[in-house]
Amino acid sequence: MPPPPLPKTPYTSCYCEENIYLLAQAFLGNPDVSRHWEIFVVFISNSSKSVALWNQKRALEQDLPVVWDYHVVLLLGPREEFQHPTRDMTRTATASVDAEDKSNKVWIYDCDTRLPLPCVLEDYMFSTFMDVPPHYERIIPGDVFLKQFASDRSHMVSVLTPFDAHMPQYFKLVAEDDGAVSQASDQAWTDLKYMAPPPSYEPIRGTSAVEKGVVNNLMSSFVDMASSERTFGHVIDKAAMSTRM
């Protein structure tokens, strides 16, 4: 069967992790989708937090990339491929299938791309990335992401001091990884702003995150490409993404 069309879920520019959370939630809650497709959330980043993506809607010109500190997309693969006993949950075979057989393709849903939505994985990788600089993907099963993810949006908070309040284009980001917005010792902050308008709904916290008392694990558990006790999913590089999926 062909991949499902993009459902009508809230979209907020510059909050890709929340857009994809709501998309994964919609797909997992739809039996017609979850019965036939395996759903994964993919975080794209690197150690320098600078990943160049082409064909993005926010590009200043059509042939220029947008450089994000990280980006998030949804990956949809045929369930029978992911459940094959010789494969793990981050692999499927696409090279040998009929190019016209959409039921055996792996698809990418990127709410910020100019490419078709959804887009075949191989086409998306070819048209979006040129390894400037290299990047990695953290692949998380959709149900795990929905339970474990939490963000208080503090990574999008900018704070102005009296010194630079007259230059609003210069923001000082003070959001820390634990989600608490740090304060200057002299409490000199005069204005609190977001770098991009936040969604109108409340910040997202998965059921497991709530049970654990986690308020924010966006950077430490998902964007960070190093493996640790706090991270979820598996990390692969671009070459592995292109050849294994």
Mean pLDDT in order along the chain per 10 residues (245 residues) = 94 97 98 96 94 94 92 93 45 41 84 97 93 85 98 84 42 39 39 83 97 96 93 83 53
Active-site entry in 71, 135, 152, 224: 71
Retrieve residue 89's tokens.
């949950």
Q: What is the pLDDT of residue 117?
A: 95
Catalytic residue among 16, 111, 119, 155: 16
- Residue 59 CA to residue 120 CA, distance in Å, equals 21
What pLDDT was estimated at residue 242? 53
Amino acid identity at 64: L
Please choose, from the candidates 199, 35, 163, the residue with its C-alpha nearest in 3D space to the C-alpha of residue 103.
35
* Whether residue 16 lies in the annotated active site: yes
Q: Is 22 helix (H, G, I), strand (E, B) or coil?
A: helix
Per-residue confidence (pLDDT) for residue 158, from 0 to 100: 80
Q: Write the burial class of residue 148 (CB in 10 Å: 0-12 exposed, 13-18 middle, 19+ buried).
A: buried
For residue 192, the surrounding DSSP H or E stretch is: strand 191-194
- The contacts of residue 49 (CB under 8 Å, 6+ apart) are 69, 70, 223
Decide if 152 is catalytic. no
Residue with tokens 């062909």: 2
Active site residue 71: yes
Catalytic residue among 63, 69, 98, 110: 110
Q: What is the pLDDT of residue 157?
A: 87
Between the two ends of the chain, the Cα-to-Cα distance in Å is: 19
Residue 97 vs residues 81, 101, 245: alpha-carbon distances, Å: 11, 7, 13
pLDDT at 81: 57
What are φ and ψ of residue 21, in 5° steps?
Answer: -55, -50
Task: Give residue 240's pLDDT.
Answer: 58
139's tokens: 């692949």
